[in-house]
Amino acid sequence: MAGTAMGGTRRNPWAPWLLVAPGVLWLLAFYLLPTLALARTSVGPEGVAWYDGYQRAFTDYGQHLLRSFWYAGLATVLALLLGYPLAYVIAFRAGRAKNLLLGLVVLPFFTTFLVRTFAWKTILGDEGWLVGLLGTLHLLPSEGRLLSTTWAVIGGLTYNFLPFMILPIYVSLEKIDRRLTEAAQDLYCNALEAFRKVVLPLSLPGVFAGSLLTFIPAAGDFINAELLGSPNQKMLGSVIQGQFLTVRDYPLAAALSFVLMTIITILVLIYTRLLGTEELA
């Protein structure tokens, strides 16, 4: 490159197209086409009303839908409450330990999702020390156990998606120019006000991205509900898996997938409006 003039007069007009082509082809082959095939499946075989699967999705599995979004929402809020302070400390207060702490956040990912969730089965087990301790303190939920309860599933979701909350928030906090908070304090803000008026608004893109990265996969997740829940904690992901693999009612399973995707899209749009940010961290 040394010595080459980069005046930009002889740009290849095809360059942008060549650059996006692999991504576009990938999405076409592995996203758009399967989605279309799924849409075709969801309207069912000949002789059945096309909306049959969709109707049953709401009449038979309405409660699973509500449960999925309720669990995912709660897990997102919990992840935010746990993740924001942690990201804040890493970004502003960690000093030389910053890289170490970031590494620790990512470390659990070196083990697979499935194994980590299995580990929680051991930790939360009925004969485990945690249940024993909480039992002594009379803090157990009404079932008298932790595993196979709503709390275990929400806890598992929060745990598994927490890094997806922490990392984007960290990135947006890290970008903030420290002089802005100094300026706020020069203008008679106390530390809390400086945080509320300067740091928090500037970190919103991170909160936004983190919430989406947590909420969307959590709403469709089935591993946590399968391993840490009972049949009464089944989320929509489990139902879809069961309908595809066990019952083999493909139209219903495909319709459920579309309902899930549509509702997530609507929720994301509403959320975008409310938070009023176009920029992702």
Partner 1 sequence: MKRREPYDEQELQSLVRRALSRRQFLGRTALAAGGLALGSSFLAACGKKDGGAAADSTAAAAGGAKAINISNWPLYIDAKTVAEFTTATGIAANYTEDVNDNDEFFAKIDEPLKRGQSIDRDIVVLTDWMAGRLIKLGYTQAIPTGPFPNKANLVDNLSNVGFDPGRTHSVPWMSGMTGIAYNPKTLGRELTSINDIFDPKYKGKVTMLTEMRDTLGLVMLGMGKDPATCTLDDAKAACAKIKQARESGHIRRFTGNDYTDDLSAGNISIAIAWSGDIQGLAADSPDLVWLAPREGAMLYSDNMMIPKSSTNPDLAAAFMNYVYDPAHSAQIIAGAPYLSPVKGMGAELEKIDPALAKSPLVNPPDDLRARLHVFRWLEEAEETEVNKAFQDAIGA
Could you give the string, one character per residue 122-151, with x where binding to partner 1 holds by CB under 8 A and - elsewhere?
A: x--xxx---------------xxx-xx---
Least gap, CB of 81 to partner 1 (angstroms): 20
Q: Does 279 bind partner 1 (CB under 8 A)?
A: no
Burial class of 107 by CB neighbour count within 10 A (0 to 12, 13 to 18, 19+): exposed
Residue from 217, 25, 191 nearest 113 by CA? 217
Task: Report the site for partner 1 in 41-60 (rule: CB under 8 A).
Answer: none
- CB closer to partner 1 out of 106 and 187: 106
What one-letter code names the amino acid at 45?
P
Identified binder of partner 1 from the candidate list 248, 262, 265, 272, rule CB under 8 A:
248
Q: Minimal CA–CA distance to 65: which of 240, 223, 249?
A: 240
Cα atoms in the 13 Å half-sphere on the side-chain side of 256: 28
Q: Does 110 bind partner 1 (CB under 8 A)?
A: yes
Name which of 166 and 184 has its Cβ closer to partner 1: 166
* Choices 32-40, 70-78, 187-195, 246-254; region in contact with partner 1 by CB under 8 A: 246-254
Residues 193-232: x/- map of binding to partner 1 (CB under 8 A)? ------------------------x-----x------xxx
Looking at 12-20, 28-36, 94-102, 190-198, which segment touches partner 1 (CB under 8 A)?
Answer: 94-102
- Sign of the Cα torsion 11, 13, 16, 19 reads negative
For residue 242, the minimal CB distance to partner 1 (Å) is 4
Are 83 and 210 a contacting pair, CB within 8 Å? yes
Query: Is residue 67 a contact point for partner 1 (CB under 8 A)?
Result: no
User: What letter does residue 15 receive in the DSSP assignment?
Assistant: H
106 lies in the binding site for partner 1 (CB under 8 A):
yes
**Residue 23 interacts with partner 1 (CB under 8 A)?**
no
Positions in the binding site for partner 1 (CB under 8 A): 1-2, 5-7, 98-99, 102-103, 105-106, 109-110, 112-115, 121-122, 125-127, 143-145, 147-148, 163-164, 167-168, 170-171, 174, 217, 223, 230-232, 234, 238-239, 242-248
